[in-house]
Structure 1
Amino acid sequence: MSGNTVTCPYCLLNTSGDEPFGGWVYRDDLWLVHHGPIESSRPGTMKIISKRHYTDFAEMTPDEAASLGSLLHMLDAAMRAGTDAERVHLVSTRDRVQHFHAWLYPRPASHSLRGTDFLNAPQHSEPADADRAAQAVRHHLTVTSPG
């Protein structure tokens, strides 16, 4: 396992009691999900962060690996229902912050770019638009979650 949990910004976010912009869209025993930063994310972009400090897929426990698939399934459906997304792109590089995290980028059908061209294009949100998108995704997760 790489990194230092004392200085890791994602570990600190998990343990500080602070909430990211728009609050937590989803939390459970293994995962944290929040809207991406407005200066670099279009409305509805979600960041998934592992609660436990590790970096790579190969370091996941079997429960983490299985639950990530279920979480992605739920978030894809909620993001497409709560935003104008035709497609939700998944990206996870972990080069800057060596703590497992992944980004989900909603791509609307009306957007002229596709695939990596879409992902490489500048993205940003107005705070009110990002907040509305986070609330919509949270709502769709709540109404579709089992239990």
Structure 2
Amino acid sequence: MSGNHTCQYCRLNAAAEEPPGGWIHRDAFWSVYHGPADASIPGTMKIVSRRHFVDFAEMTASEAAAFGPLLAQLDTALRATTDAERVHLVSTRDRVQHFHAWLYPRPASHPLRGTDFLAAPQHGDPAEAVAAAHAVRRHLIAAAR
């Protein structure tokens, strides 16, 4: 994997230790892990490119070909393991100049929709985040069999 030693996501991809809750999925192109519990609800996933690039247009054909199916697998897993009615995809890449995308599972019971939901403060419990990470990982493994 190519990297940039000043980039926090390149350092995370190269680190020996796993993020809290462990890696949900890792392949040649993408790393997936649960978002930080203090800033995301249980089931929030972050997809980070293994190679250092910023924009969608910079994806290789192989990265792009793997991204769509990965999104579908994660969407299915999040709907099966959380009470998500919708799974929102967000990728701004403004704060960290490395390609990454967030998946936010919006519960059917949540009073806000769309960008109102995304803009609202989100908080979770670390134990719930770890449990959600394990549940999504188990679902992905079972679906791959």
TM-score (norm 1): 0.95
Aligned to 2:38: 39
Cα distance in 2 for partners of 1:38, 1:29 equals 26
Aligned to 1:139: 138
Equivalent pairs counted in the alignment come to: 143
* Fraction of identical pairs, as percent: 66
1:107 aligns with 2:106: yes
Offset from partner CA, 1:60-112 (integer Å, 9 cap, x none): 00010111001000000001101111110000000111000000000010111
Query: Considering only aligned residues, what root-mean-square deviation do their CA atoms show, in Å?
Result: 0.9
- Runs of 5+ unmatched residues, structure 2: none
Offset from partner CA, 1:98-146 (integer Å, 9 cap, x none): 000000000010111000000001101111111111111111111112x
Cα distance in 2 for partners of 1:6, 1:136 equals 32
Cα distance in 2 for partners of 1:134, 1:125 equals 13
Query: Greater shift after overlay, 116-125 or 4-13?
Result: 4-13
Q: What residue identity is the alignment partner of 1:41? A: S
Cα distance in 2 for partners of 1:113, 1:76 equals 19
SS at structure 2 position matched to 1:39:
helix
Aligned to 1:27: 26
Aligned to 1:53: 52
Cα distance in 2 for partners of 1:28, 1:82 equals 22
Cα distance in 2 for partners of 1:32, 1:17 equals 13
TM-score (norm 2): 0.96
Offset from partner CA, 1:37-60 (integer Å, 9 cap, x none): 011100000000000000000000
Cα distance in 2 for partners of 1:124, 1:136 equals 19
- Runs of 5+ unmatched residues, structure 1: none
